[in-house]
Structure 1
Amino acid sequence: MNLESIYSEEITWAVIGDILNKEKYAYKILKNFENKGYNVVGVTPYDEIDGEMKELKDIDLNIEGVNLCVSPSKGYENLFNDTNHKIKYVIAQPGARSEKIKELCKDRGIEYIEACTLVTLIKKNRI
């Protein structure tokens, strides 16, 4: 399946990363998703930030897509600890990729894709 068709599905996404820093890709991806009307929630796994969701498992919505914009260790930790959601897709951004995450996704029947969300969706005028 290609990214354009995945991003055209009406599912709820989680963006995991530094969603509060305007200079970071996690923030840019989250805001672009929001601006285009996607169902999306931000997750920041950094303990020093209060008042924001810190782990994927804490989200009450039905998450089916995850966009990783975080270190591979934090990404793996969030995916490994989450058993609440029926995740269909994990999109790993540059710098967020690892074989360990890829294997976890394979074991759980999740489609793992290494791609740049902003580039893909800007080309399709979706973001």
Structure 2
Amino acid sequence: MKKTLILGASTNPARYAYLVANKLVRKGYPIVNVGRKIGKVAGVEIEPMGTPHQDIDTITLYVGPQNQAPYFDYILNTHPKRVIFNPGTENPELLAKLEENGIEGVEACTLVMLNTGQY
């Protein structure tokens, strides 16, 4: 199963990052939650950005483009196979950096992808 890092994880049940974390876990995907606030989502602690994980298949992005720059190196050093830009997170600068490093950038909605079997 594709280990997924949720960047912008939230304990707020109204946030899409929260919904995605729970749906991924229900479908059997291992997750890593990375966010600014402490807490637990889908039974997994939210950790601060720190040492990049080395076993991530997908990063699903829930940080707006105006707040993404501090995460660029972290994302690139994690070496995921793909990064999903959820609606409102699209960023041509980050997409170009991903492509330069052989990482697929996908502009899509993770929830829709999970619901339609395209994940």
| TM superposition score normalised by structure 2 | 0.80
Following TM superposition, the consecutive aligned residue runs of length 4 or more in structure 1 with deviations greater than 4 angstroms are none
User: What is the aligned partner in structure 1 of residue 94 from structure 2?
Assistant: 101
Match of 1:77 in 2: 70
User: Which residue pairs with 2:43 in the alignment?
Assistant: none
The residue correspondences of 1:17-36 to structure 2 (distance < 5 A) are 17-36=8-27
Q: Does 1:16 align with 2:30?
A: no
**Which letter does structure 2 place at the counterpart of 1:19?**
S
> Are the aligned partners of 2:82 and 2:106 in contact in 1 as well (CA < 8 Å)?
yes
Q: Deviations over 1:39-73 (max 9, x none)?
A: 111111x2xx2363121x43546112100011124
Higher helix share: 1
Note the C-alpha offset of 1:117: 1.1
Structure 1, residues 61-100: CA drift from partner, whole Å, max 9, x if none? 6112100011124334223234542211000001111111
Partners in 1 of 2:54 and 2:74 — Cα distance? 16
Q: Is the 8 A contact 1:53 1:59 kept in 2?
A: no
Match of residue 87, structure 1, among 75, 80, 89: 80
**Gap regions ≥5 residues in structure 2:** 40-45
Any unmatched runs of 5+ in structure 1? 1-9
Q: Distance in 2 between matches of 1:60 and 1:103?
A: 22
What TM-score does the superposition give when structure 1 sets the normalisation length? 0.76
CA distance in 1, matches of 2:70, 2:104: 18
**Distance change >3 Å, CA 39–CA 76, structure 1 → 2:** farther
Task: Name the CA shift for 1:125/1:63 in 2 (closer, same or farther; >3 Å).
Answer: closer
Q: CA deviation at 1:29?
A: 0.6
- Alpha-carbon displacement from aligned partner over 1:8-38 (angstroms, at most 9, x marks no partner): xx22110111421110001101110011110
